[in-house]
Amino acid sequence: MSERLPHEKGFHVSWDQVHRDSRALAWRLDGRGPDNGEWKAIVAITRGGMAPAMIVARELDIRVIDTISVKSYSHQDQSEAKVLKAPDPEMIGDGRGVLVIDDLVDSGKTLELVRELYPNAHFATVYAKPKGEPQVDTFITGVSQDTWIFFPWDMALQYVEPYRGSD
Ligand SMILES: O=P(O)(O)OC[C@H]1O[C@H](OP(=O)(O)OP(=O)(O)O)[C@H](O)[C@@H]1O
Ligand SMILES: [Mg+2]
């Protein structure tokens, strides 16, 4: 069992909530790129960053989008973060003018790794836990470290028993 567990609280995020929060992230980033306020491209950290990246790209009219694949968790257990697939080096350069987007920052290990590779990129997440906050330049909603965020792509609607059972 990892030292990260147990998470005392669960924060369940619906598709609608991710959509609203990702839009809010886009609006916060608008006009803040390094060259005349413009962002030249988005790099989504797969897989969780792809949904917010799509929404931000649509809001800010960014058409150049690539991915970096970083794997650091198996279910709720964390292991060493590894880059499994890197973005096009010609496009990303040292990261200037590029928005790197993820769904959340938790320990900050994933972003730390990507930051080392692209120190001049701007790092943005929708949600952030306190340990990871130093690694993120812009985020929308903070949650406590002992909260596990449940995303809609990991969930399904399920029957639950009524609070007061019948005889
Ligand atoms: O700040 P950290 O402690 O590094 O954790 C945050 C990362 O962990 C999750 O990804 P995960 O590695 O589980 O892969 P996934 O996006 O494919 O689900 C999440 O989507 C972030 O990318
Ligand atoms: Mg991820």
- Checking if the pLDDT of 110 tops 90, the result is yes
* 3-class state of residue 90 by DSSP: helix
pLDDT for 96 equals 98
Residues 31-45: tens digit of each pLDDT: 999 999 999 999 999
Residues within 6 Å of ligand 1 by CB = 45-48, 71-73, 81, 102-110, 132
* 21 has catalytic annotation: no
Whether residue 81 is predicted with pLDDT greater than 90 in this model: the reply is no
Q: What angle do CA 7, 77, 151 make, to 5 degrees?
A: 65
**Burial class for 165, CB neighbours closer than 10 Å (0-12, 13-18, 19+):** exposed
Q: What is the pLDDT of residue 2?
A: 47
Cα–Cα distance for residue pair 108/133, rounded to 1 Å: 7
167 alpha carbon to ligand 1 midpoint, in Å? 45
Q: Which residues are annotated as a binding site for xanthine?
A: 106, 149
* Ligand number nearest to the C-alpha of 149: 1
Confidence of residue 10 (pLDDT cuts 50, 70, 90): very high
pLDDT tens-digit profile of 121-143? 999 999 999 999 999 999 999 99
- At a CB cut-off of 8 Å and minimum separation 6, what does 24 contact? 140
As for the ipTM of the complex, it is: 0.99
Atom of ligand 1 nearest to the CA of 135: 1
Its pTM stands at 0.92
Asked whether the predicted pLDDT for residue 3 surpasses 60, the reply is no
Q: Six-digit token pair at 93?
A: 């350069």
**Which of 21, 30, 61, 103 does the annotation list as catalytic?**
103
pLDDT of 73 above 50: yes
DSSP calls for 20-33: HHHHHHHHHHTT-B
